[in-house]
Amino acid sequence: MSFAKEVNQRLIERGWSIAEYSFNSRVKEDTIRKILNNDSDPRLSTATKMADALGVSLDSLVHPESSRYPVL
């Protein structure tokens, strides 16, 4: 799953709008829309803010498959 799809899934799970996510992440709504529509890749600082607002690690958004299954 891509970063954009994973973020979108987390937003749906929380019932957050783009406006709410923008407020919580301190990332502009337009920037979030571009990222979620795959029109732009986030900068590291933006991706970190997005992950922090969701209360998850950046790694879990970039590599969701590996973060769901711990390495033994």
For every residue of 47-64, DSSP letters joined together read HHHHHHHHTS-HHHHHSH
Summarize the confidence of residues 7-11 as an average pLDDT: 95
pTM, two decimal places = 0.85
Instruction: Delineate the domains of the chain, giving CATH numbers in brackets.
Output: 3-68 (1.10.260.40)
Per residue in 15-49, pLDDT (tens digit) is 999 999 999 999 999 999 999 999 999 999 999 99
For every residue of the chain, DSSP letters joined together read --HHHHHHHHHHHHT--HHHHHHHHT--HHHHHHHHTTSSPPPHHHHHHHHHHHTS-HHHHHSHHHHHS---
